[in-house]
């Protein structure tokens, strides 16, 4: 059976897990690959105008796979941590995918919900496995194997690789190499690592001679400590990471500046942004740029804002930018 | 302590009746207006939900009117509503207002804290009378809901435009003034009598259901009077949510008469999981409306609302499958009343045309959602 995995939204976190699990079960996995202009535009024309950019991109990926596969794999992640939820859009994602392909292809949608305890999740994964094989041992083995691959992938992210090289298993090209200026680029995985919608922000910063710190690279313990300080718990799991990372970066001065990547019109981010900006201000923190991207964001304006921000940080830190030096000479 | 809370449909009558009963001080925020919205958009975050902005506007106007304690419920998602109170507190603090925000959370692990907060709010009144006041207010809410439902059903038959609305406003007053179960029962009869005595004329009507985000469905000022407009266009209207469903979240939704499980069941071919807010209900109720012979469904949602965006992506499919026209109205601070009026008019015309075609046994082609 040929199973398609759309390369949008949570693929930027669990892609490795999904592909290795399905492959170990003997499925032929077809990925839609990286976002391209045609994927984006087909997604934008198909999705509701009110959807957020990543969901539109996701639609594009689903449509790109529609005619190539026997089934599309869109798991429903209800909760990935006790006491939290994912975003409502992710709760409804398989149904959105079904509406997008208009029932031409079946959608495989196991439900993962950590509110319900491990047994329910085990059952969900097991019955997913049963679609491909009748051998229970093989399912368990595939699960364990995929899980360790996933751990390795996440570990690579924490070491400072970006999504693409972590997927491939390359270990060069670290985002953070000890250059003078360090910027936190923080946001959801799909907002930070998608090279097309972010217009290669990470590469660009790196070629400007700037070190990048992503939310994954901020130590878990610091994030947790920051979250405990908040008067009201954040109940979105991915938002916890974002807010925790921003607050930790601010309090411990892990970076010289923060770029908060938001896609328009993201529900949870619009709320978290208020919290982060206020806490940042109260701590007398680091300069923060909230970058809102959507499908109309032009490359020119985007670059100008990034450059201006980097220049400002350089000036604050007393490093003359190369351009400035050239002018002075 | 001057307590205040944001508007939401007829919530003001219910809440203020609790405070009246207990003899506590409260401030009613001025009725929602264009200024409320402007204040809300000025201070509110860029693409936050529309209700967050409007209730923020209510809070600001309440503080200006002398309130110093603001009540808001909070929760644990997955929707944004659970975080309103916290966000609004931060925004208002940044804007330099002085107030106290009392966040009421009703999850099991937050209950002790909530009870402590309630204790402070009740200012020494005995728990027994608090419980009674709340119970009585809930009964009032239920009565108000049923009166509203009656108004929705009969508005299309008004001989004189707006007569039902005027009668309904008198009913609100009457219910609010009731101070014992005996008088509430009397008011109930009088109020229904008042509504039924509004002069009517026979007209051809169509049946239209309203689904959508809770706050917006309930709040006539911000949904641009969708209910009233539909009624005036000659539609028998029913809606999927009433205040009681929110005040007493038991799942059996006594006013609209659709049990949560029934709604879930109906939505299953299209949406199989709870998505926060009213997303699942919007889809399920649309199917139920179709089963009950309605001619069309109007879906109201705030711009950027997450559950309703999901519903909006799925409703065209429901509409195509079942052949029931669905009109999605996306409302934000820029939406104009005139535009909505034109779209509603076209929609009711379409629904009427389809009803006639069906009654005459003509096979009408399926219309895509618009
Ligand atoms: S978290 Fe934000 S960006 Fe992600 S799916 Fe939800 S609304 Fe969209
Ligand atoms: S239902 Fe929609 S409008 Fe209401 S809080 Fe949730 S996202 Fe906001």
Span A118-131, pLDDT tens digits: 888 888 888 888 88
Could you tell me if the CB of A8 is within 6 A of ligand 1?
no
Lowest mean pLDDT among A46-55, A145-154, B245-254: B245-254
Q: Average pLDDT, stretch A94-122?
A: 88
Q: Are B237 and B208 in contact, with CB atoms under 8 Å apart?
A: yes
Around Cβ B284, how many Cβ atoms within 10 Å? 27
Residues 25-54 in B contacting A (C-alpha not used; CB under 8 Å): 45-49
The mean pLDDT of chain A is 87
The least confident of A37-41, A114-118, B217-221 is: A114-118
The predicted pLDDT at position B56 comes to: 93
Q: Which residues pair with A213 in a beta bridge?
A: A184
Q: Matching CATH topology for B3-125 and B205-370?
A: yes
- Which pTM value belongs to this model? 0.89
Distance from CA of A98 to the nearest CA of B (A): 8
Using CB distances shorter than 6 Å, the residues near ligand 2 are: A 267; B 49, 51, 79-81, 213, 277, 302, 305-308
Put simply, the answer to whether A88 touches B79 (Cβ < 8 Å) is yes
- pLDDT band for position A94 (50/70/90)? very high
Tell if the CB–CB gap between B45 and A268 is shorter than 8 Å: no
Whether A174-328 and A2-158 are alike in CATH topology: the answer is: yes
Q: Is A263 in the pocket of ligand 1 (CB under 6 A)?
A: yes
CA distance B24 to A148: 60
pLDDT at B369: 46
Q: How much is the mean pLDDT over chain B?
A: 89
pLDDT at A259 over 90: yes
Under 8 Å CB-to-CB from B281, ≥6 apart: which residues? B211, B240, B241, B260, B263, B267
- Low-confidence spans in chain B with pLDDT less than 70: 363-370
Q: How far off is chain B from A238, nearest CA to CA, in Å?
A: 12
Cβ of B270 and A99 within 8 Å? yes
Q: Which of A79, A235, A263 to mutate to test the pocket of ligand 1 (most atoms within 8 A of CB)?
A: A263
Q: What is the pLDDT of residues B226-268, one digit of tens each?
A: 999 999 998 999 999 999 988 888 888 888 888 889 999 999 9
Ligand 2 center to residue B267 CA distance, Å? Answer: 20
Q: What are the residue boundaries of the structural domains of chain A, listed by start?
A: 2-158, 174-328
Closest-CA residue in chain A for B105? A232
**Interchain CB contact of B279 with A (< 8 Å):** yes
Which CATH number does A2-158 carry? 3.40.50
At residue B309, the pLDDT reads: 92
The residue in chain B having the minimum alpha-carbon distance to the alpha carbon of residue A281 is B94
Beta carbons of B309 and A266 less than 8 Å apart: no
Residue among B78, B82, B91 whose CB faces A91 most closely: B78
CB A125 within 8 A of CB A111: no
Which residue spans within A40-149 are E strands per DSSP?
71-73, 76-79, 107-108, 111-113
What's the pLDDT score for residue A121?
A: 87
Integer Rg of chain A from CA: 20
CATH of domain B205-370: 3.40.50.11900
Of B74, B270, B276, which is closest to A95 when you measure between CB atoms? B270
Tell me the per-residue pLDDT of A193-242, one tens digit each, with 9 for 90 and over: 988 888 888 888 888 888 899 999 899 899 999 899 888 888 898 999 99
Q: How far is A326 from chain B (nearest CA, A)?
A: 40
**CATH number assigned to the domain covering B3-125:** 3.40.50
pLDDT band at A326; cut points 50, 70, 90: very low
Give this complex's ipTM: 0.87
Return the number of other C-beta atoms located less than 10 Å from residue B325's C-beta: 22
The position carrying tokens 């990471």 is A241
**Predicted pLDDT of residue A324:** 46
Distance, CA of B275 to CA of B259 (rounded, Å):
17
Name which residue sits closest to atom 1 of ligand 2, judged by CA: B277
CA distances for B274 relative to A172, A239, A266, B227, B259, angstroms = 43, 20, 19, 26, 15
Q: Cα distance from A281 to chain B (closest Cα, Å)?
A: 10
Interface of A with B (CB under 8 A): 47-48, 50-51, 76, 78, 83, 85-89, 91-92, 94-96, 99, 102, 111, 231-236, 264-268, 270-271, 273-275, 278, 292
**Nearest chain B Cα distance for residue A325, angstroms:** 38
**Contact across the interface for A270 and B330, Cβ inside 8 Å:** no
Burial B172-199 (b: 16+ CB within 10 A, else e): bebbbebeeeeebeebbeebeebbeebe
Place of tokens 């390369």: A7
B94–A86 C-beta distance less than 8 A: no
Quick one: pLDDT at residue A325?
47
Q: Judge whether B330 is closer than 8 Å to chain A, CB to CB.
A: yes
**Domain map of chain B by residue range?**
3-125, 142-203, 205-370
- Partner-chain contact A92 B304, CB within 8 Å: no
Fold exhibited by the domain A174-328: Rossmann fold (3.40.50)
pLDDT of res. A329: 40
Alpha carbon nearest to ligand 1 atom 7, residue: A266
Q: Is A323's pLDDT higher than 60? A: no
């Amino acid at each position: 059976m040929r199973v398609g995995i759309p390369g949008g939204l949570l693929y930027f976190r669990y892609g490795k897990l999904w592909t290795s699990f399905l492959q170990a079960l003997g499925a032929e996995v077809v990925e839609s690959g990286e976002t391209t202009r045609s994927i984006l535009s087909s997604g934008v024309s198909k999705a509701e105008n009110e959807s957020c950019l990543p969901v539109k991109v996701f639609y594009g990926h689903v449509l790109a796979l529609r005619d190539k596969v026997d089934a599309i794999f869109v798991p429903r992640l209800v909760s990935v941590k006790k006491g939290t939820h994912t975003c409502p859009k992710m709760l409804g994602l398989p149904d959105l995918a079904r509406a997008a392909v208009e029932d031409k292809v079946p959608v495989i949608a196991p439900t993962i919900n950590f509110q319900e305890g491990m047994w329910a999740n085990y059952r969900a994964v097991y019955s997913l496995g049963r679609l491909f094989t009748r051998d229970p041992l093989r399912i368990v083995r595939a699960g364990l194997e995929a899980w360790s691959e996933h751990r390795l992938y996440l570990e690579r992210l924490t070491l400072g690789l970006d999504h693409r090289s972590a997927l491939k298993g390359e270990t060069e090209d670290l985002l953070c190499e000890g250059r003078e200026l360090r910027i936190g680029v923080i946001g959801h995985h799909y907002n930070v690592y998608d090279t097309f919608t972010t217009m290669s922000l990470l590469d660009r910063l790196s070629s400007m001679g700037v070190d990048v710190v992503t939310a994954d690279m901020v130590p878990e313990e610091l994030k947790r400590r920051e979250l405990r300080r908040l008067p009201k718990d954040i109940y979105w799991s991915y938002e916890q990471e974002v807010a925790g990372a921003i607050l930790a970066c601010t309090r411990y001065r892990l970076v010289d500046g923060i770029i908060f990547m938001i896609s328009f019109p993201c529900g949870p981010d619009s709320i978290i942004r208020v919290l982060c900006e206020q806490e940042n201000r109260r701590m007398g923190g680091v300069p923060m740029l909230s970058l809102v991207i959507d499908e109309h964001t032009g490359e020119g304006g985007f670059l100008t804002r990034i450059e201006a921000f980097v220049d400002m940080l350089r000036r604050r830190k007393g490093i003359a930018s190369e351009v400035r030096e050239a002018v002075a000479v | 302590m001057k307590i205040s809370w944001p508007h939401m449909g007829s919530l003001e009558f219910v809440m203020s009746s609790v405070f009246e009963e207990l003899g506590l001080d409260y401030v009613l925020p001025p009725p929602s207006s264009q200024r409320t919205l402007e204040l809300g958009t000025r201070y509110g975050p860029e693409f936050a939900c529309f209700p967050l902005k409007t209730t923020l506007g209510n809070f600001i106007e309440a503080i200006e009117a002398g309130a110093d304690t603001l009540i808001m419920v909070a929760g644990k998602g997955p929707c944004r509503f659970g975080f309103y109170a916290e966000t609004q507190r931060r925004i208002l603090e940044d804007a330099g207002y002085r107030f106290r925000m009392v966040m009421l959370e009703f999850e099991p692990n937050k209950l002790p804290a909530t009870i402590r907060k309630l204790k402070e709010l009740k200012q020494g009144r005995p728990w027994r009378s608090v419980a009674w006041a709340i119970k009585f207010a809930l009964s009032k809410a239920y009565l108000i809901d049923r009166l509203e439902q009656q108004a929705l059903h009969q508005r299309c038959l008004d001989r004189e435009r707006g007569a039902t609305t005027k009668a309904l406003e008198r009913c609100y007053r009457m219910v609010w003034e009731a101070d014992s179960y005996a008088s509430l029962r009397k008011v109930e009869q009088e109020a229904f009598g008042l509504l039924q005595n509004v002069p009517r004329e026979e007209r051809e009507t169509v049946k239209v259901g309203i689904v959508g985000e809770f706050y917006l469905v309930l709040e006539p000022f911000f949904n641009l009077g969708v209910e009233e407009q539909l009624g005036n266009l000659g539609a028998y209207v029913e809606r999927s949510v009433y205040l009681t469903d929110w005040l007493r979240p038991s799942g059996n939704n006594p006013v609209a008469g659709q049990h949560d499980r029934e709604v879930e069941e109906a939505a299953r071919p299209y949406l199989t999981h709870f998505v926060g807010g009213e997303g699942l209900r919007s889809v399920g109720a649309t199917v139920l409306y179709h089963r009950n012979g309605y001619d069309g469904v109007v879906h109201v949602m705030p711009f950027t609302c997450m559950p309703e965006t999901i519903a909006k992506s799925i409703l065209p499919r429901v509409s195509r499958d079942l052949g029931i026209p669905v009109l999605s109205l996306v409302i934000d601070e820029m939406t104009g009343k005139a535009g909505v009026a034109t779209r509603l008019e076209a929609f009711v015309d379409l629904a009427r045309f389809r009803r006639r075609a069906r009654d005459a046994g003509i096979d009408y082609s399926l219309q895509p959602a618009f």
